[in-house]
């Protein structure tokens, strides 16, 4: 991501997409009071989060009969169908881990085998997204816990915590290459969840190889114990390394550390995730239900001056349902440089046709031009405008025609030894050897960022002030 001087102004940020994670697969009944068990309660949790302001739902399925996380895909299909009816505008993001949580001292924290996880690509009704990891890593969420974080839950049992400490996310190329292929074939967007810069690099390589061709939505994950921790420098480096054209970026972290991390996300212009899957404590170390966390995220965003996305806005920002045809389009939309052509030397950039591009999906702001006209003789009345007409009639054409629609302010340049320069509107008079004009015109009228008539001392310079300015040609 690239930050400009005005990037931290809330009026220039996209609306905040709030993800709710209310199904806490690591918890057992009785651990947290807002843990929904029946399908009716699980659906109601989604409705409550949506009404509070969340527009994306991180989905895990809990077997109502056992209270344990479910790996029954019939239950997944049934539950997703119920969610589609209850919260039709909510983005449904299914957690790719399925059921991994150990709940007894003899159990192990282990993600299910590849074939079982691939079945998430065949869910019906289809979710909007399925999370996908890229690279095997330790994912020990308990390592960053501080004293008291697990109080009142079964994770306070040292033997259960020890089982969690050995959780490894098994995600080799044999998994993620096939998983991305199946997701693409079934038109379910992947939601990438890198926990380190190295996993970000894997994602870029997958885009460059054409394994996935579509919008880039991802969460930067910092749970400690193999992923990022809570060092803000690590979060800023991950954000800096994230492709500038990513459709959406969300921060994921844990326990009370998540309060600070989500505050950072809000003021940095990215998106937030809250819920009992990540945190159960408020800033006063009191239990904090998921809906209250969503309400806090809404209030924080609005107090900062940043709008909260509704369902339609969130889908548009994330480009849900959009797919690209080529590797080149995918790289360009993600804000990545093109692949290196064979034999090409030097740093890579995109060729242009000489026109200044405008920022994607936005109206650009006006552009300031400066005109310098210099002649060997003295200037008589109207000669400055005659210089403009000369340009208009020969090389300048459309550019100068548009310029003349703007406001032209001439500044007389003093002769050597003169005490001062005088400024006025309209054309120049007197006998100054050089005149300058500055004016504003719509940026779409620019034929080039600079122009000079061969054999003369008349030239034009355009100074872009749009959100994404181009280098001069």
Region of poorest pLDDT, from 53-62, 319-328, 399-408: 399-408
- Residue 349's pLDDT is 87
Quick one: pLDDT band at residue 107, thresholds 50, 70, 90? low
Quick one: pLDDT band at residue 142, thresholds 50, 70, 90? very high
Average pLDDT along the chain = 81
Q: Is 95 within 8 Å of 149 (Cβ atoms)?
A: no
Region of poorest pLDDT, from 41-45, 231-235, 453-457: 453-457
Please give the Cα distance from 320 to 152 (Å, whole number): 39
Comparing CA positions, the residue from 84, 77, 85, 44 lying closest to residue 61 is 77
Residue 139, pLDDT > 60, answer yes
Region of poorest pLDDT, from 284-288, 290-294, 331-335, 429-433: 429-433
Report the alpha-carbon angle 264-269-272, nearest 5: 60
Quick one: pLDDT band at residue 360, thresholds 50, 70, 90? low
Report the alpha-carbon angle 371-374-376, nearest 5: 170
Where in the chain are the domains?
Answer: 10-333, 367-414+424-463
Contacts of 346 (CB under 8 A, 6+ apart): none
What mean pLDDT do residues 268-278 have? 98
- Residue 381's pLDDT is 38
Residue 2, pLDDT > 60, answer yes
Give DSSP secondary structure letters for 45-74: HHHHHHHHT--EEEE--B-TTTSSBP--HH
- Residue 182's pLDDT is 97
Residue 418, pLDDT > 80, answer no
Residue 217, pLDDT > 60, answer yes
What mean pLDDT do residues 102-131 have? 79
Please give the Cα distance from 142 to 162 (Å, whole number): 8
What mean pLDDT do residues 153-167 have? 90
Which residues partner with 252 through β-bridges? 221
What mean pLDDT do residues 415-426 have? 42
Reading phi first (left if > 0) and then psi (alpha if -120 to 50, else beta), residue 265 is in: alpha
Contacts of 215 (CB under 8 A, 6+ apart): 189, 247, 318, 319, 322, 324, 333
Choices 3.90.1640.10, 1.20.120.1810, 3.30.420.40, 3.20.20.70: CATH for 10-333: 3.20.20.70
Residue 374, pLDDT > 80, answer no
Percentage with pLDDT > 70 across the chain:
73
Please give the Cα distance from 214 to 62 (Å, whole number): 31
Percentage with pLDDT > 90 across the chain:
65
- Residue 97's pLDDT is 79
- Residue 353's pLDDT is 76
**Residue 238 CB coordination number (10 Å):** 22
């Amino acid at each position: 991501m690239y930050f400009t001087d005005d990037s931290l102004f809330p009026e220039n940020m996209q609306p905040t997409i709030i993800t709710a994670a209310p199904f806490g697969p690591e918890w057992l009944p009785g651990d947290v009071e807002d843990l929904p068990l029946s399908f009716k309660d699980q659906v109601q949790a989604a409705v409550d989060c949506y009404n509070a302001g969340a527009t994306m739902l991180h989905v895990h399925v809990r077997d109502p009969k056992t209270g344990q996380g479910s790996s029954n895909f019939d239950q997944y299909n049934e539950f997703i169908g119920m969610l589609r009816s209850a919260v039709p505008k909510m983005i449904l993001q299914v957690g790719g881990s399925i059921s991994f949580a150990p709940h007894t001292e003899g159990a192990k924290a282990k993600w299910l085998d590849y074939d079982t996880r691939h079945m998430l690509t065949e869910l019906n009704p289809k979710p909007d997204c399925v999370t996908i990891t890229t690279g095997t890593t330790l994912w020990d969420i308990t390592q960053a816990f501080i004293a008291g974080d697990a109080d009142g839950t079964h994770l306070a049992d040292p033997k259960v915590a020890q089982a969690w400490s050995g959780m490894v996310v098994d995600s080799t190329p044999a998994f993620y290459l096939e998983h991305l292929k199946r997701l693409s074939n079934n038109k379910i967007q992947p939601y990438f969840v890198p926990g380190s810069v190295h996993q970000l690099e894997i994602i870029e390589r997958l885009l460059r190889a054409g394994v996935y061709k579509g919008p880039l939505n991802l969460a930067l994950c910092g749970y400690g114990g193999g992923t990022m921790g809570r060092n803000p420098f690590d979060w800023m480096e991950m954000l800096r390394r994230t492709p500038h054209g990513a459709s959406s970026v969300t921060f994921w972290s844990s326990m009370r550390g998540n309060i600070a991390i989500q505050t950072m996300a809000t003021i940095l212009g990215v998106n937030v995730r809250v819920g009992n899957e990540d945190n159960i404590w408020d800033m006063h170390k009191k239990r904090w239900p998921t809906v209250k966390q969503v309400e806090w995220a809404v209030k924080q965003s609005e107090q900062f001056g940043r709008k909260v996305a509704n369902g339609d806005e969130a889908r548009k920002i994330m480009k849900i349902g959009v797919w690209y045809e080529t590797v080149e389009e995918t790289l360009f939309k993600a804000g990545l440089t093109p692949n290196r052509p064979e034999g090409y030397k030097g740093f890579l950039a995109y060729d242009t046709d000489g026109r200044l591009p405008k920022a994607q999906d936005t109206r650009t702001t006006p552009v300031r031009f400066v005109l310098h006209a210099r002649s060997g003789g003295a200037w008589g009345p109207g000669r400055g405008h005659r210089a403009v007409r000369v340009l208009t009639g020969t090389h300048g054409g459309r550019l100068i025609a548009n310029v003349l629609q703007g406001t032209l302010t001439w500044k007389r340049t003093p002769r050597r030894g003169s005490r001062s320069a005088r400024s006025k509107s309209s054309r120049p008079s007197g006998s100054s050897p050089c005149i300058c004009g500055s004016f504003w015109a719509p940026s779409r009228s620019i034929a080039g960022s600079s122009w000079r008539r061969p054999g003369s001392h008349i030239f034009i310079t355009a100074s872009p002030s749009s959100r994404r300015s181009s280098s001069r040609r």
